[in-house]
Amino acid sequence: MRTREFAQLGFKTSVFGMGCMRLPQAQTGETEKVDEIEAIKMIRYAIDHGVTYIDTAYDYHEGASEVIVGKALQEGYREKTKLATKLPLWHVKSYQDLERLLDEQLARLQVDYVDFYLLHALNAKWWQTVKELKVIRFLEEMLAVGKIKHLGFSFHDELPVFKEIIDAYQWDMCQIQLNILDENIQAGVEGLCYAGAKGIPVVIMEPLKGGKLGQNLPTDVLALWEQASEKRSPAEWAFRWLYNFPEVAVILSGVSTMEQLKDNIRIFAEAEPNVMSEEELNLVRKVKDLYKSKTKVFCTGCEYCLPCPQGVAIPRIFAYYNNVFIYNNRDQSASNYQKLVTKANDVSQCVECGACEQSCPQNIPIIEKLKEAHQEIS
Ligand SMILES: NC(=O)c1ccc[n+]([C@@H]2O[C@H](COP(=O)([O-])OP(=O)(O)OC[C@H]3O[C@@H](n4cnc5c(N)ncnc54)[C@H](OP(=O)(O)O)[C@@H]3O)[C@@H](O)[C@H]2O)c1
């Protein structure tokens, strides 16, 4: 397992970090829940094989993730890894809620402190809440009493908001969504380099776009990857493109099977920066262009268009529409869309008021594109 310096913090972490948002599931009766025994086995296997960064959050698996991570870190495992969890701002109504939540998280995790405490999923709205509720003052108090060792934030908004937040505080780290398809989306590569230039370590989330870049690939995308002179799996190419950036400190991947975990441990044994040849980078560009050519609506899922006064689930409808062409899954998209119809969140509810188009940062002609989507997947 390759490690990297965690910038100025004076320690190294494994380049592969275990994301605990997609732990293995087990069927119990009608419902699925986390397979706790397998999840603990996997977290410990990861640590035994050199993974020294574990990422969880208050809401993952409806609270079960922190509890399971806490159990996995017993019997000497806590001391072998850096532990990150996140403050869910949407559960905070007052200053008093902040310490109550952190204490609840420490109890779930069975620890006295976390190494990294992140403001979860910051965007312009939650950043405003951070300022109004004086959350940074609270976090500094928790640093002083030792319940938190380092401060950071995870991010889901546009680049200018990212730069504003980066410039507003001396962060110990930040976490952004990045993968070969999101090069120019949200913080993107420009945000990565912006943070990197300021010496802020960057942790990557959704490196496989939630798994879509690793499995069930369209046949033409697979054929492109096969043109590479060195044979690698699509997941390996996606990780390689990321670990090639020297600014990347840790790449988190959620693994839902032991097989995936072992595969990623193998892949990250090679995770050195600046290893991709021009030929390899060109191939990634071709793959990205192919995906793009199959994309009908360049919706980034920022949800600025929501809430729609009529309840139309705009970003989800665009995702289903795009998926027909990217992943060749018309049946799945149509079935997902049907569920929106049942809940009256489909395109037939649209009265063309245009409120969404005024707030879309991508300037998408939403009304027209919704009609196209409806025609395709209804
Ligand atoms: N702070 C935030 O706002 C935020 C948001 C999102 C994520 N996160 C964190 O970031 C972590 C990483 O994001 P992510 O889980 O979306 O990562 P990801 O790597 O993009 O997606 C993980 C999924 O990829 C598939 N996968 C993993 N390894 C594979 C391999 N070797 N070959 C083929 N497929 C593979 C699995 O899909 P299947 O399960 O379908 O098999 C797995 O569940 C999360 O677990 C979470 O800890 C944070």
- Fold classification of 3-287 (topology level): TIM Barrel (3.20.20)
Atom of ligand 1 nearest to the CA of 254: 15
How confident is the model at residue 331, as a pLDDT?
92
Q: Which pLDDT score is estimated for 101? A: 96
In the structure, which protein residues have their CB atom closer than 6 angstroms to any atom of ligand 1?
19-22, 55, 86, 120-121, 154, 156, 175, 205-211, 214-215, 235, 252-256, 260, 263-264
């997609």: which residue's tokens? Answer: 22
Question: At residue 147, does pLDDT exceed 60?
Answer: yes
pLDDT in tens, 182-222: 888 889 999 999 999 999 999 999 999 888 888 878 888 99
Return the percentage of the chain with pLDDT > 70, whole number: 97
Judged against a pLDDT cut of 80, whether residue 367 lies above it is answered with yes
Q: Are strands 148-155 and 25-28 parallel, antiparallel or unpaired?
A: unpaired
* Centroid of ligand 1 to alpha carbon of 355 (angstroms): 33
Residues 255 and 18 sit within 8 Å (Cβ to Cβ): yes
- Look over the chain and give the mean of its residue pLDDT values, rounded to a whole number: 92
* Residue minimizing CA distance to atom 30 of ligand 1: 260
Of ligand 1's listed atoms, the one at least distance from the Cα of 264 is: 31
Higher pLDDT, 253 or 31: 253
pLDDT in tens, 45-96: 999 999 999 999 998 888 999 999 999 999 999 999 999 999 999 899 989 9
Read off the pLDDT band of 154 (50, 70, 90): very high
Domain boundaries, the chain: 3-287, 314-377
* pLDDT tens digits for range 247-260: 999 999 989 999 99
Tell me the residue length of the chain: 378
pLDDT at 8: 79
Ligand 1 atom at minimal distance to the Cα of residue 211: 24
pLDDT for residue 301:
64
Instruction: Point out the least confidently predicted range of 139-148, 168-177, 312-321, 357-366.
Output: 357-366
Q: Which residues contact 32 (CB under 8 A, 6 or more apart)?
A: 25, 26
From the CB of residue 48, how many other CB atoms can be counted at a distance below 10 Å? 11
Question: What mean pLDDT comes out for the span 228-256?
Answer: 95
Rounded to the nearest 10 degrees, the angle between the axes of helix 64-72 and helix 36-48 is 50
